[in-house]
Amino acid sequence: MKNSSYIAGFSFYVPESVLTNKDLEKLVDTNDEWIISRTGIRQRHIVSHQACSDLAYEASLKALERTCLKPEDITHIITATFTPDTYVPNAACIIMEKLGIRGIPAMDVNAACTGFIYGIELARGLCYVSPGAKVLLVASEVVTSRINMKDRSTSVIFADGAGACIISNQTFDDDVPSGCVQDVVLKADGSLGPLLTVKGGGSAHAMVPGQVVGDDFFVQMEGREVFKHAVRSMRDVSLEIMNRNSLTADDIDLFIPHQANIRIIEAVAKIMNIKDEKIFVNVQDYGNTSAASVPIALADAWEKGRIKPGYLALLVAFGGGFTWGATLIRF
Ligand code: UT7
């Protein structure tokens, strides 16, 4: 049975505050040259006082505007995040309240940096069981809320932001730019979880009143090991989704990978023989915004005119858990 889902309203929002590599030099033992050569990042946006739902709200409003929908037209809200405002209520419920909607399902999904791709598959499933659904999928992260700015192995990479879209199994109006989600492949491997963690405050690492947070409250990452797995996993899942759709690198018009590190992106693209001009990169401006990274890149690519009608885009991500996944979108 054909189960086409359409994606539209590509939008993103980042907080106003920009943290440059020079700013980081004043906070931690690092330097602009090291950060650029090892990660490709020149600056990133970080919150001053905003929470996950505030960034998500701004991105969601744009997504609604771009699809000519009103908040009450939305039938489900999925938020991809590992940095929700609170454990309870979930971020989706807080976003729902900010949008002025009530009475529809609202849930969070935590698949770390792969959250948006996981969200696409969940939204496709919802559209299948509820034909006519219009799912607001918003990935939003205030990663800096779980970063120790004195830890140079993480503070130079991670950043804050949100990306949103609407997914439906009904086509959008002709004047609304949209793509057809052709396939999704999702993966996970819990045995690799210890390489990238945020433990503190979880039920296995419960806190007591008055306790001072320890290092484990913040992102702990074995950078070098994570790097190797990121390259292998994104390569493998990209090849798998291409093979099962009988595609070669020449058929891909735009490659939109998770913006974790320019060296990871270039390594994956090189093994896959994807030409430089087909790779979308904005890590230099926004850093690694975890689940928000892929939808921010998608919306940024759209705004910069990099996506043309008929284009086939391959989106791929990798993150803690470990989780990884890919999707093909025909515009
Ligand atoms: O979002 C999904 C999951 N995350 C990722 O995909 C991130 C994957 N990992 C990475 O992007 C990279 O491993 C990092 C950017 C985190 C680190 O880059 P690296 O090239 O793997 O550096 P390294 O940890 O191997 O360290 C190389 C050197 C070391 O010095 P020595 O021992 O060679 O003298 C580090 O102490 O660089 C030093 N170093 C730094 N120097 C200046 C590490 N971090 C920094 C820093 N500034 N921020």
Same domain (yes/no): 142, 202: no
Protein residue with its CA nearest to atom 29 in ligand 1? 153
pLDDT tier at 2 (50, 70, 90 boundaries)?
Answer: low
E-only strand ranges, the chain: 5-13, 18-20, 43-45, 76-80, 106-109, 134-142, 160-168, 178-188, 196-197, 220-221, 254-257, 312-319, 323-330
Measured CA to CA in angstroms, residue 264 lies from 47, 92, 123, 243 at distances of 26, 31, 28, 22
Please report the atom of ligand 1 found closest to the CA of residue 158: 1
CATH of the domain at 53: 3.40.47.10
> To the nearest whole number, what is the mean pLDDT of the chain?
97
List Cβ neighbours of 154 (8 Å cut-off, separation of 6 or more): 147, 148, 218, 219, 220, 221
Same domain (yes/no): 321, 196: yes
pTM: 0.98
pLDDT at residue 4 in the model:
87
- Find the catalytic residue in 113, 165, 261, 282: 113
Q: State the greatest distance between any 2 C-alpha atoms of the chain, in Å, as a whole number.
A: 58
Residue 73 has pLDDT above 60, yes or no: yes
The three state secondary structure string of 104-124 is CCEEEECCHHHHHHHHHHHHH
**Known catalytic membership, residue 113:** yes
Q: How far is the CA of 227 from the centre of ligand 1 (A)?
A: 9
Residue 157 has pLDDT above 50, yes or no: yes
List Cβ neighbours of 272 (8 Å cut-off, separation of 6 or more): 235, 238, 239, 249, 255
Protein residue with its CA nearest to atom 3 in ligand 1? 319
Q: Which domain holds residue 70?
A: 5-177
pLDDT at residue 85 in the model:
98
pLDDT at residue 74 in the model:
98
| Total domains in the fold of the chain | 2
Same domain (yes/no): 306, 254: yes
Same domain (yes/no): 29, 153: yes
Protein residue with its CA nearest to atom 13 in ligand 1? 223
